[in-house]
Structure 1
Amino acid sequence: MLVSNLLVASRCLALVGLLSGAACCGKAEKPKAISAAEVGNPVKESDLTTVTITPEAEKRLGIKTVAIKTDNVRATREVGGEIQAVPGQAITIVAPVQGTLRGGAGITAGQRVRQGQTLYQLVPLPAERDLLTLDQGMAQSRTQLQVAQARLRRAEELLADRAGSVRARDDARADVALAQRALADARARQGALNGNTGGGQALPIKAPLSGVVQRVTVAPGSLVTANTVLVELAALNKVWVRVPLFVGDLRRLSKQAVTVRPLNGGASRQGQPVEAPLLGATAGTGTADVFYEIDNADEAFRPGERVAVDVALGNAAPGATNGATGAPTSTAALTVPAAALLYDATGGQWVYVRTAPRQYTRQRVEVQRAVGDQIVISRGVKAGAEVVTDGAAELFGTEFGGSH
């Protein structure tokens, strides 16, 4: 009886152990996570950007490389500016007397003129008090001519009958000539008043300087009074750039040349600071205007044109006032030539780095800013790496099948 009880107890213990073991195994197993999407054969970006070319292709593409270097780049800020004519070099031409304009049909805004070029011919009119007597003067001159002609005929008849003298005939001829001249002048004045300037003596209106026509206010053939504005000229051999700067930056503004760049990507030029008062302060925007002068002998810049200006900033000098005197500051940064930078269809910025002979790897970079013809790189490449300048675009086309 005792033996049978022990067998039953041992079987129960074994069963409890099996059940507890099964329970423990069930708790250890976790269901496998199911991913919402799976990517087959994932490839890193760097594995897709290496181009290996033959020596012949390298020569044909004209590939050249430069080493990335660390330069001391001065602290600059890119701001917008506006081209203006230099004060005193913009001239308004006015009519010296009242009269009728002749010529000037080809004078239009934007046209270049040279110093001494005749812009208009001005036929003067009589004074205003004489305009009321033009008709009366015309009739009087006509009558005087008729009387002088009658006297001449009478003197010639008397001389033919030997009853007159040669002197009397000559005097009569002189009177006729004077009367004819007076009548011609009266007709010219009357014609000028009516717009017919063919017979009048005209005054030339010439350009006092070489420049560009800014504005035309009259039309050929117009009647103008004295001091009427005819045209406005601006000399463009030198121009100013008006730069509105945040007033907080004025104390850091360096008294050095700035770089002026057209917005269409043309060649940049240096602008020299102008010792001019700070004008045009705007309380609403917290800005004040600073001016720079640039050479413009080829008239590449026009008044009113918008440009980009790279202004050098420095540390504020102790006790500096508006128009500050701080020296420019500079920081060490990685730079590459602008020709090495490429853009993809989404605006991504890339360079090609030579990783082995005739092997070039496209690497993504982050551009901080441009300084002249150099690009400051904040991340993506290391100093000493060789980047492609000449032939970078051709490599880009070769990689994506656009070049063969």
Structure 2
Amino acid sequence: MDRRPFPARFLPTGSRVPPQLYAVTGTCLLLLIGCQPPSKPATKAAAAPPAKVEKLAQETEIARITLSPKAEQRLGITLTSFAMQQVQRRRTFGGEATIPGGRTIIVSAPVAGAIGPPAQGQIPLPGESIQAGQAVLSLVPLLTPERDVPTPAERVQMANARATLLSALTVAKGDVARSQAEVDAAKIALNRAEQLLADQAGTARAVDDARGQWNIVTSSLTAAKEREEQLDALLTELDSPAGEAAKATPLTLHSPQSGVIRNLAVSRGQTVNAGAPLFEVLDTRTIWIRVPLYVDLLTEVDTTAAALVKPLGQRGRRAAFSAATEDAAAATLPPQTTAAQPITAPPTADPLSGTADLYYEADNASLHLRPGQRVGVEIPLQGAGEALVVSAKAILYDIYGGAWVYIKSGEHAYQRERVLIRYTAGGLAVLDQGPAPGVEAVVDGAAELYGAEFGAGK
């Protein structure tokens, strides 16, 4: 009979566990305890983190960030204070760039003719910049079609002119023949006088008289020949069947002012009538800005102060500008932002929309404004008021466009607070809502605090 012990679960109820099972179980427990590794000594206390974000109980409240002195020094945090200042109230309106009055010149054809390129270069295309006095195109004058066939009266006049020329030419030829004979006779007399003087039979006076007479008849012969040539050329031109257009000298048309070719109404080889428009030159060095305002706002804006013109969509980039100083410093203006001066222009208004127009003149040497372009115009309002301001560099924006600042809430402690911006000017943000004056806000290091709060910091 097998006397090996059975596990307890297989023993029948009421059976006694053999003592050998207890011995084996105890030995196994001792072996397991002896095989365990020795316990490790206590580790050093964990290093303190450089930044600690203390989450408040409620989700709607703002987190508070506490920095270690070393982390604060490494971030190079600088502070600025909220303050109440006298500021010039400003408001942005929509405007339109328009062509200044009297800055567009249309050049017309002085006579009928054919269009051609200038002597040097090609005809400029619309949109190209040109300088005052630059050759734009040439014009070859043409006779009108009705002048190609003379009228009966003109034929009679031409016949009379031809008869007169023939008569004068005949007289001129006779003068040439007579003068030639006189020259020959004077030459013979001069030779005779010189021979007698050489033979000591004549006098020097006779030689001088003969030479003077020869000079006179020679001059008469030269004048007679020139008169004959002129009359012959006139008669040849009168009898020539060739048209005058082929012999006409081209006229070069120049730009009357510097600017841009706005419109070119002709092309090479085209025939135009006298007075036909050829091209249009637009002076874009300055441009007008038309600002329509509701009539009830005319008394609120300062119509005598300069304004700022900027492209639409340029948000949060207003420059330092003082209404008392009309010429704003160019170095402080953001790109494509221009100072515009109020001008006197013809009064215009729109009764349907209930608006009246203000006009400003802006420099456009860089051609960043085009006629018809919509722009934003920042106009100062009447009077100055006191408002809460802070450095615009301290403002942070979240993904929803909300504006925030980090204020110093304690020793090495900072807290984020919401602000409501009215506008920015001169590097300052004018606020409608924000912390009390005197509270310090973070300028340098605000972005790093924002990243540490939301888990994106280094």
Q: Which residue identity is paired with 1:276?
A: A
How far is the alpha carbon of 1:80 from its aligned partner?
0.5
Maintained 8 Å contact 1:51/1:399: no
Q: Which residue identity is paired with 2:134?
A: Q
After TM superposition, list the pairs within 5 Å mapping 1:159-308 onto structure 2.
186=242, 189=245, 201-254=249-302, 255-265=304-314, 266-279=335-348, 281-308=349-376
1:309 to 366, 377, 383: 377
How far is the alpha carbon of 1:220 from its aligned partner?
3.1
| Residue 111 (1) aligns with residue 145 (2) | no
2:401 to 326, 344, 347: 347
1:401 to 1:186, Cα distance in 2 relative to 1, 3 A:
farther
User: Across the two proteins, how many residue pairs are aligned to each other?
Assistant: 314
Q: Which residue identity is paired with 2:362?
A: I
1:216 to 1:170, Cα distance in 2 relative to 1, 3 A:
closer
Maintained 8 Å contact 2:336/2:368: no
How far is the alpha carbon of 1:204 from its aligned partner?
1.8
- Of stretches 285-294 and 384-393 in structure 1, the one that deviates more from structure 2 is 384-393
- Of stretches 72-81 and 335-344 in structure 1, the one that deviates more from structure 2 is 335-344
Superposed CA RMSD: 4.3
Maintained 8 Å contact 1:340/1:387: yes
- Of stretches 40-49 and 333-342 in structure 1, the one that deviates more from structure 2 is 40-49
SS in 1 for 2:357: strand
Partner in structure 2 of residue 127 of structure 1 = 144
Q: Distance in 1 between matches of 2:267 and 2:67?
A: 66
Maintained 8 Å contact 1:353/1:388: yes
Q: Distance in 1 between matches of 2:237 and 2:111?
A: 24
Partner in structure 2 of residue 156 of structure 1 = none
Maintained 8 Å contact 1:49/1:363: no
TM-score normalised by structure 2 residue count: 0.56
1:381 to 1:128, Cα distance in 2 relative to 1, 3 A:
farther
Maintained 8 Å contact 1:108/1:216: yes
1:403 to 1:274, Cα distance in 2 relative to 1, 3 A:
same
SS in 2 for 1:46: coil
Maintained 8 Å contact 2:66/2:412: no
| Residue 364 (1) aligns with residue 418 (2) | yes
Maintained 8 Å contact 2:126/2:261: yes
SS in 2 for 1:108: coil
Partner in structure 2 of residue 374 of structure 1 = 428
How far is the alpha carbon of 1:202 from its aligned partner?
2.3
Q: Distance in 1 between matches of 2:251 and 2:286?
A: 31
SS in 2 for 1:129: helix
Q: Distance in 2 between matches of 1:374 and 1:183?
A: 87
Maintained 8 Å contact 1:243/1:291: yes
SS in 2 for 1:381: coil
How far is the alpha carbon of 1:234 from its aligned partner?
2.1
Maintained 8 Å contact 1:122/1:202: yes
Partner in structure 1 of residue 105 of structure 2 = 91
How far is the alpha carbon of 1:178 from its aligned partner?
8.0
SS in 1 for 2:62: helix
How far is the alpha carbon of 1:261 from its aligned partner?
1.9
Percent same amino acid among aligned pairs?
A: 33
Maintained 8 Å contact 2:131/2:258: yes
Q: Distance in 1 between matches of 2:244 and 2:406?
A: 80
Q: Distance in 2 between matches of 1:364 and 1:185?
A: 93
Maintained 8 Å contact 1:261/1:308: yes
- Of stretches 252-261 and 357-366 in structure 1, the one that deviates more from structure 2 is 357-366
Q: Which residue identity is paired with 2:89?
A: A
- Of stretches 349-358 and 259-268 in structure 1, the one that deviates more from structure 2 is 349-358
Q: Distance in 2 between matches of 1:173 and 1:234?
A: 52
Maintained 8 Å contact 2:64/2:414: no
Q: Distance in 1 between matches of 2:233 and 2:412?
A: 98
1:85 to 1:178, Cα distance in 2 relative to 1, 3 A:
same
Q: Distance in 2 between matches of 1:244 and 1:261?
A: 16
TM-score normalised by structure 1 residue count: 0.63
SS in 1 for 2:407: strand
- Of stretches 286-295 and 119-128 in structure 1, the one that deviates more from structure 2 is 119-128
Q: Distance in 2 between matches of 1:248 and 1:301?
A: 29
- Of stretches 82-91 and 347-356 in structure 1, the one that deviates more from structure 2 is 347-356
SS in 2 for 1:365: strand
* Structure of greater Rg: 2
